[in-house]
Structure 1
């Protein structure tokens, strides 16, 4: 009904919704983005004695129908690119699809916001561009039909590249314990940005007993070093690499992780609440009463984090052997392999009734595919074959053996959709063999066999898991903490966002919806970072230079709530970083600049600045790592990626109007002479020519759609030109 609105919800179970919240909302301390309104009914004078509010419920079969219903009912169907978390070096566009008359759009900070009307691109689709110069929350109020209004809640961050570098530096300089007298020497732990202190086993901040896992193991503590290692694959910094190696040598090896000499179960990883307690049976009895007869190395999820850590250290050691001091490349790859091997064996063997490794999605386990590839490149065929066989057991289970394979730590888990998509993608991109009695399920007492393996089965599963994943992700919402995010804008926003963006880029017949949603997911949870400039006092959530680079675990959307340690906190980013760096690690797998011709917004560059001229396009990458670039339309799919180095900072990539010629400069990020690889992915039957400083390079064919080119990097920069033979109507 016209005039009906919702302005507030509380933090109760299920969340009560309020049309007017002047009483209930004002009882709760904290900030809220809408006014708590009240209406007084005057029964004595007979005026204003009644108010009429109403809601209509309509069925919709899909998201397009939902959008159409919003339009038909006099509301707004809103689309936004590249997302509602907007880095300061990017602009956003939004479309208001409505029958209403737009009177004005008013920004919260007019002096720091530029809004431009771009026109009615399609009938009743009114498109605007917005640019923010004030960091933090930025609300736009859309006034329409005289006395009505609605809101768009954006968040402005520093550039993504700045965020990535600041976060890694902050972890190394503010979040590592270095005290040789402590059992946790080398540990990366959680940072309390409210108090400005590093927490740890001797300064718990309330994380006691079993909850001590937050400080020294499990996802909150184990996610930090893998992210720092992954970041240094793209931007190597000696001090950061040294800190990660210190962590591995002093905290992981022989502490968190059993060494290769510790029998039984070498390479096993200890769990809750920390390795010191888990290694001591008497300490364990004071924390838990069950499974005391089993070695506490059963948590599947932990293995994937450490395998990822070792794998990225292998990459760094391979590219920069002079920068690593603890292990060499072969030794890091061996640890990555052995940790991945233990992942498939130990949890299921020790506590398979609960940790059914082949049946649950585990964050970061998709890195095992990369470990397999590099084992093969290094000539370790037997190890690669063993690991591939175990990985394919899991892929086949997800595709064929479970009608609802979306479980992780919970029966319906946002975490699962990174893995479910990775398995579907693997099934599409690889040839798997039929099998009989592949593995025995000791819980259900049955064998799994797959007499017929078809790529179309993987494709069907890809579609099914894709749409299942949308159920736990904001798509029609118009707040930065909902669009593209899970319900708390956690690490799962980016992890699941990768699956949506990759699906749109490489598998969806019509890519445009999924480019929009996938990129919004990538950008969304960067809003949890507390960073800034001197003018913004170095952070929106917890100002002060000492917190510049801190990060919130997730987002509290209610006005008041409680943290994991029972402390009361208000709306906004949680004060502890917790599991957030899981998402940051995933971000380095997602980061790319994508040129696309959107049906509504026209030519846009996700993660980049775009200029169009008579010759074609100029795109400056702003995605955070400047290492990948794609052109994605309905009929053209072109992607390029460097093994190391990247596009020259602040320099343009040029693309001609036919999309057949791409030119750019590569920057030498290590400053030495070295070889790197350029991978080009395009449609089958395309002919590709690559020139380095006008010298034609010889390709190595990887598949019908993928070519690899060797680049000898000698100078600070080199010119590269890529020419495609395809001349399609894009």
Structure 2
């Protein structure tokens, strides 16, 4: 109870301060004069797919709901806040923004949202439902006229803007955007309410092939697709920072679909490489041009691709996705009714495409290879002139990425100051890549204090690197960290083998520390500058999995390798992992009721306790976790956290609900993950689980410390764990695309020299990595636990490999494994899951006629005389002794081929 009171006093750790600020902003908005005209009559229309409600005065959208029989009580727009948001400068669906060059060569901004006035209705008929001249809500000096139409085209709802140059000289439009206003405002709602009432939306910024997905938080029911109809190339996705709706942990913000963006690229975004080449439009005198979007419903999230095909919209499927490790022979499949005329690569030579031919279902197949590290773009031009852009990220070969990461962590981030007053020597500490220096102080004390996600991130990444790619010299340093800093420092016994974990080793107490200890250039005048008492608090459950994971990996290295771990034996580490797991529930009971990031490690610990026949410990841990899972089973949406909504708890909730057979709740959790974790042809958004506030708490302080959609923050790797586990249980290609996108996304931001940042900035004014290592650890944990090769046969696309290079010769499918650890393979047609506790897979072959599987293991090394192979499949038995449930296989120098 004491811990709980402390945390409430600290405004629930991170989030409540922002919520309080947001509530203040809401109050100020409410006091403003209503201008939208909602006191007047609404106009209501029904199409085959939608119920549409317009504000009569403004003809902006007041509600957009699925039509009869399709969740009609659900509104995709924030119509529930219309009475609060009926003010000047608050955007609504139906608004338009332009930036037009004046006669002096300056860009001038125009928006229908800035000053509300009653628009002039136009006569309607035929397929036109409603129409208006928008002149009254635009400045008098705007050099164009704008009319807006809501109409039906083949019974589909279309929103069309007609723009006419009213001048006698040409007019250049340097920016044109349509605000995408849907109901992602979570303020004041419970988890159950948000999952029932709110949506998230994800952009495919793919030029003429672009689209927007709008999905309910529950992941259930029909999803909305916003598609280009006429002249609506999706060029950029701009945050509407001028909308006064307060952005906070309960509101990510609104964005607009930009058709043209040159005026921003020349100013606010100057010097930043955009997802697409910025363009402008010049209208000749009296020239008129239409810009139209159409609104389409899908049966559900998994039906997006088939709906796009039905709508004759270009579809791209990348294997293994759009993060391309050099050396991987990836594939791209294109489905469109028109022929591919050309593929242009930017920068030149960064990607190589080779046409293979057409699949049985008429996808056009290409081999794709990444040739130059960094961002790359392929612009596909079809015979009808339509252009589709696909953004890739080329990285080094996975083994090299992980090796470089280890080098950076254990050299650049290795902290060994013997005079450190906070006892952090030795450790892998946070790093500022922009200034090329270790972070030994920060106003958010946990960043420099080796705990919480923002401070533990780097050392957690360091140990998970050893799980994939152990290196003796790095493990020796990590042993120093364990014995000098972790055990007895960051973690300590509170008695009765209750091993508490502090919130931070660094703290702010200038009166008790020598003069000069703290920098006078940092801001320590905030709630985040904990004193020693608060830093020593053990009541935050989210800190415990980091420590448990470190002990568990060291146990695995000590148990299944020879001579890698020498400071303690395997049992010491496994017991520490167990006691840390139990201490979380004992010492941090309030937050332990939620799912934790990396909480899936507790199941790995339980499995190993059982394998070691440490029955008493196993039974206690399993019983404790079942009590938590029983609580989750009773909740509608059992993955809250210290935030009002979060995407961190789902990983652990799914893990334990699945383990205990609570399949309904596991499915509820998976559905919610799929609502915020899309698959689309863009490396930044493919598999990118939604995170948007942790640049404040785990990112670089300064101008980029803000509420902003984070590209492959730790949610991508972590949420990929349940998605890929669900795939292995019931192979579904959608799950594999989403999960593998998240897994590879987790390492996509690692620099060539091995620095791993917190995430990548999505704002078009930035579009680069954050410069702080921050809370990268949970994401890399997700990558390490997910890393595997998947071999599948997809009905439309044939034989595919995710994590390897596939060749087919007659009945034989062979895959050379290209993952970093080469330790896990899933063969989908046999539902066969092969894992190695030690050793590597070089290749695997599958005879499609006889179902015979052959695996080739790599040779032994100084620390790996034996492979330990686990086989999850029916009717497989090998002539090797089983040790703790794994086949122990003595390795020769040059490897070994085994038939399963």
Q: Structure 2 length normalisation: TM-score? A: 0.65
Greater Cα shift, 291-300 or 385-394:
291-300
Residue 279 and residue 658 in structure 1: after superposition, are their counterparts in 2 closer, same or farther (change >3 A)? farther
Measure, in 2, the Cα distance between the counterparts of 1:659 and 1:515. Answer: 26
Question: Which of 7, 10, 14 in structure 1 is aligned with 2:254?
Answer: 14
Measure, in 2, the Cα distance between the counterparts of 1:308 and 1:413. Answer: 22
Deviation at 1:471, TM superposition (A): 1.1
1:452-486 Cα shifts (integer Å, max 9, x gaps) = xxxxxx222222221211111122x2210001112
1:268 is matched with 500
Tell me whether 1:159 sits opposite 2:353 in the alignment.
no
2:873 is matched with 682
Measure, in 2, the Cα distance between the counterparts of 1:102 and 1:501. Answer: 33
Do the aligned residues in 2 keep the contact of 1:363 with 1:416 (CA within 8 Å)? yes
Tell me whether 1:552 sits opposite 2:730 in the alignment.
no
1:181-235 Cα shifts (integer Å, max 9, x gaps) = 112211322222222222222xxxxx31x35535532112213333333333453
Tell me whether 1:467 sits opposite 2:678 in the alignment.
no
Do the aligned residues in 2 keep the contact of 1:421 with 1:466 (CA within 8 Å)? yes
Deviation at 1:638, TM superposition (A): 1.1
Tell me whether 1:425 sits opposite 2:658 in the alignment.
yes
Residue 266 and residue 92 in structure 1: after superposition, are their counterparts in 2 closer, same or farther (change >3 A)? same
Residue 67 and residue 371 in structure 1: after superposition, are their counterparts in 2 closer, same or farther (change >3 A)? closer
Residue 254 and residue 278 in structure 1: after superposition, are their counterparts in 2 closer, same or farther (change >3 A)? farther
Measure, in 1, the Cα distance between the counterparts of 2:526 and 2:289. Answer: 59
1:486 is matched with 689
Measure, in 1, the Cα distance between the counterparts of 2:581 and 2:510. Answer: 21
Do the aligned residues in 1 keep the contact of 2:541 with 2:584 (CA within 8 Å)? yes
SS of residue paired to 1:307: helix
Deviation at 1:585, TM superposition (A): 2.0
Question: Which of 795, 806, 812 in structure 2 is aligned with 1:616?
Answer: 812
Aligned residues: 627
1:503-545 Cα shifts (integer Å, max 9, x gaps) = 112x22x4322222222221123220101xxxxxxxxxxxxxx
2:435 is matched with 195
1:14-41 Cα shifts (integer Å, max 9, x gaps) = 2233222232342213331323322234
SS of residue paired to 1:415: coil
2:725 is matched with 502
Question: Which of 663, 666, 669 in structure 1 is aligned with 2:854?
Answer: 663
Deviation at 1:575, TM superposition (A): 1.5
Instruction: Provide the aligned C-alpha RMSD in A.
Output: 3.0
1:35 is matched with 277
Measure, in 1, the Cα distance between the counterparts of 2:881 and 2:479. Answer: 37
Tell me whether 1:597 sits opposite 2:793 in the alignment.
yes
Question: Which of 520, 524, 528 in structure 1 is aligned with 2:741?
Answer: 520
1:709 is matched with 887
Of structures 1 and 2, the one with the larger relative CO (CA 8 A, separation 6+) is: 1
Question: Which of 317, 323, 332 in structure 2 is aligned with 1:85?
Answer: 323
Q: Structure 1 length normalisation: TM-score? A: 0.80
SS of residue paired to 1:460: helix
SS of residue paired to 1:405: coil
User: After the TM superposition, which residues 163-182 of structure 1 pair with which residues of structure 2 at under 5 Å, given as runs?
Assistant: 163-182=401-420
1:309 is matched with 550
SS of residue paired to 2:641: coil
1:60 is matched with 298
Measure, in 2, the Cα distance between the counterparts of 1:289 and 1:33. Answer: 38
Deviation at 1:144, TM superposition (A): 1.9
Deviation at 1:265, TM superposition (A): 8.3
Measure, in 2, the Cα distance between the counterparts of 1:185 and 1:294. Answer: 17
Residue 285 and residue 513 in structure 1: after superposition, are their counterparts in 2 closer, same or farther (change >3 A)? closer
Do the aligned residues in 1 keep the contact of 2:428 with 2:462 (CA within 8 Å)? no
Residue 193 and residue 92 in structure 1: after superposition, are their counterparts in 2 closer, same or farther (change >3 A)? same
1:415 is matched with 648
Residue 298 and residue 92 in structure 1: after superposition, are their counterparts in 2 closer, same or farther (change >3 A)? same
Do the aligned residues in 2 keep the contact of 1:80 with 1:95 (CA within 8 Å)? yes
Which structure shows the bigger proportion of residues in helix conformation? Answer: 1
Deviation at 1:668, TM superposition (A): 4.3
Residue 420 and residue 597 in structure 1: after superposition, are their counterparts in 2 closer, same or farther (change >3 A)? same
User: After the TM superposition, which residues 316-331 of structure 1 pair with which residues of structure 2 at under 5 Å, given as runs?
Assistant: 316-320=557-561, 322-331=563-572
Unaligned regions of 5+ residues in structure 1, if any?
202-206, 429-457, 532-547, 561-569, 691-695, 724-730
Measure, in 1, the Cα distance between the counterparts of 2:628 and 2:534. Answer: 28
Question: Which of 282, 286, 296 in structure 2 is aligned with 1:47?
Answer: 286
2:624 is matched with 390
Residue 672 and residue 492 in structure 1: after superposition, are their counterparts in 2 closer, same or farther (change >3 A)? closer
SS of residue paired to 2:369: strand
User: After the TM superposition, which residues 523-672 of structure 1 pair with which residues of structure 2 at under 5 Å, given as runs?
Assistant: 523-531=744-752, 548-560=753-765, 570-633=766-829, 636-648=830-842, 652-658=843-849, 660-671=851-862
1:220-251 Cα shifts (integer Å, max 9, x gaps) = 22133333333334533221111111112222
Tell me whether 1:185 sits opposite 2:425 in the alignment.
yes
SS of residue paired to 1:596: strand
Deviation at 1:287, TM superposition (A): 4.7
Deviation at 1:710, TM superposition (A): 2.7
Measure, in 2, the Cα distance between the counterparts of 1:682 and 1:328. Answer: 32
1:283-332 Cα shifts (integer Å, max 9, x gaps) = 99985799979961111110111011111112222234633343222222
Measure, in 1, the Cα distance between the counterparts of 2:356 and 2:534. Answer: 68
Measure, in 1, the Cα distance between the counterparts of 2:262 and 2:754. Answer: 36
Tell me whether 1:247 sits opposite 2:481 in the alignment.
yes
Residue 211 and residue 41 in structure 1: after superposition, are their counterparts in 2 closer, same or farther (change >3 A)? farther
Measure, in 2, the Cα distance between the counterparts of 1:160 and 1:26. Answer: 37
1:538 is matched with none
Tell me whether 1:345 sits opposite 2:586 in the alignment.
yes
SS of residue paired to 2:231: coil
